[in-house]
Structures are given as structure tokens and as C-alpha cells.
Amino acid sequence: MKSRFDCLVESILLVPSPAIFLYPVSVSEKGTVMQIGVYGSGYLATVMSACLADLGTPVTCFDTDADAILALAQGAVPFYEKNLAEIIRRRKSLAVK
């Protein structure tokens, strides 16, 4: 039996990249904590993800190209946008616990 997350990922793969979606991370008495997921690791998706994360929003990036996600996680930005590499490095260092 597929989990809800597996079904979500399958449905996202049918959507043109980049796609933004919300999914619940945890549920407590105070409410549901939501996280933003961005499918795609190209120019537009990476810039959107970095800007949302820089505002303090929890963001997770998904892509079928695992090497592209790994490169971004290591701080290698494959294209230029002013301050993008610095924002990714700054937010990545805050996320690593």
C-alpha cells in the first residue's frame, strides 16, 4: 500500500517544473505545521526556494535529478543570480543541526 507521500510525489511528477506544494510536517494542539516543497532544481525553482527560505519558511526541494539536489545541498549553484549562492549557503548552514 502506498503512503500519502508516495501518492503526492507521483502526482507532482505529472506537473510541469517548478511546482510548489504544501504538506503537513507535524500536528499538535497548536495546529498543523506546514512546509513548502518545491519540485524542480532549475533556475526558477532554486531562486524561489532560496527566497522563501530566506524569509524563514521551511522549504524542501525535490527533483528527479539527484545530482542536482546534492550539488545544491553542497552549496554549488550552477547559475548566477545576484546573492543567490550566499543565500543558499546561509540558509543551508541554519538548517544543518
Give the residue from 71, 65, 60 showing the smallest Cα distance to 22: 60
The sign one gets for the Cα dihedral 24, 4, 49, 92 is: positive
What is the edge-to-edge ordering of all strands in the sheet holding 19-28?
19-28, 31-39, 59-62
Residue type, 30: K
Looking only at the bridges linking them, the beta strands covering 59-62 and 19-28 are unpaired
pLDDT in tens, 26-79: 677 777 777 888 888 888 888 888 888 888 878 888 888 888 888 888 878 888
- Using the predicted structure, report yes or no on whether residue 3 has a pLDDT greater than 80: no
Which of 23-27, 73-77, 93-97 is modeled with the greatest confidence? 73-77
Q: Enumerate domains of the chain plus CATH numbers.
A: 4-91 (3.40.50.720)
pTM, full prediction = 0.66
